[in-house]
Amino acid sequence: MPVEADTYAQFCQRFSSDAACAHALFALRWPEGFRCPACRCSRFSLIRTRRLPLYQCASCRRQTSIISGTIMEGSRTPLPRWFQAMFLLSQSCGISALRLADIITVTYKTAWHMAHKIRFALQSAEASDLIDADFRLDAFYYGSPPLSGRPAAAIDRRLLERPGAARSCRSSSTGAFACRPSF
Ligand SMILES: [Zn+2]
C-alpha cells in the first residue's frame, strides 16, 4: 500500500525533533522508567552536554545513551531523519536509497547505510509479533524464535536482561517503522 502523504506528514510532525524522537525511544526502552543496563538501578542523572542526553546511573555511574545498541548508535544523523527513513522503508511499496536520500535530505551514502541497517532490522521482524499500543511494539532476538504473544512487560524485562536483543516497533496510527535497540 502506498504511503499516504498526509500520514507521512503527520508522522514527520509528530517526530520533528531529536527531543521528540528521544522521548518516544525512552518510552519504548524504559516503559516503566529508567533502569541502568548494568545494575538495574532506577535512579539517574541527566547529562545534557551532548546532542542527545546521557542517562548516568546514580549507583554505578554508567552512562547510557537512548540510542546505544540500536541501529542509530554512532550516527550523527538527526533522529527525525532516522524515524522518517524507518517509516518510509517499512512501507510495503518500498523505496530506493536514492529516493530516500532525496526525501529525507541526506546524502546518498548516508541513505544507503541507513537503508541497509533498517532493512536488516525489518527483515528480522514479523508483522505477527506486533503488540497493540499507540506505539505498537514488539521485541525479538536475532537468531531466536520471535516472542509472539508475550505481554509487553515480559518482553521489556527480557530485553533489559539480555543485551543484544533487538526490537521493532510500529505506529498503528501513522505507519510502521523499526529500530534495533539492545537494552
Ligand atoms: Zn548502574
How high is the mean pLDDT of the chain? 72
The residues that bridge with 20 in the sheet, in sequence order, are: none
- Span from the CA of 64 to the centroid of ligand 1 (angstroms): 9
In this predicted structure, what is the pLDDT of residue 97? 94
| Contact between residue 110 and residue 74 where contact means Cβ atoms under 8 Å apart | no
- Span from the CA of 43 to the centroid of ligand 1 (angstroms): 8
Q: What single-letter DSSP state applies at residue 45? A: E
166's CB contacts (< 8 A; 6+ apart) are 121, 124, 139, 140, 141, 142, 180, 181, 182
| Contact between residue 49 and residue 63 where contact means Cβ atoms under 8 Å apart | no
- Span from the CA of 155 to the centroid of ligand 1 (angstroms): 21
pLDDT at 168 over 60: no
- Span from the CA of 57 to the centroid of ligand 1 (angstroms): 5
pLDDT at 44 over 90: yes
Mean pLDDT of 34-59: 94
pLDDT at 36 over 70: yes
The residues that bridge with 44 in the sheet, in sequence order, are: 57
pLDDT at 16 over 80: yes
pLDDT at 175 over 60: no
- Span from the CA of 44 to the centroid of ligand 1 (angstroms): 8
pLDDT band (50, 70, 90) for residue 165: very low
Residues of the chain with pLDDT > 70, as a percent, come to 64
Task: Name the least confident of 34-48, 54-68, 160-174.
Answer: 160-174
pLDDT at 182 over 70: no
pLDDT (tens digit, 9 = 90+) per residue, 48-94?
988 899 999 999 999 999 898 888 988 999 999 999 998 898 877 77
In this predicted structure, what is the pLDDT of residue 125? 61
pLDDT at 146 over 70: no
Q: Where are the domains of the chain?
A: 5-30+69-178
Which range, 40-49, 140-149, 150-159, 169-178, has the best average confidence (pLDDT)?
Answer: 40-49
pLDDT band (50, 70, 90) for residue 3: low
This prediction's pTM: 0.67
20: cell is 521528540
- Span from the CA of 160 to the centroid of ligand 1 (angstroms): 13
48: cell is 545534557
Q: Which of 129, 160, 148, 176 is nearest to 28 (CA)?
A: 160
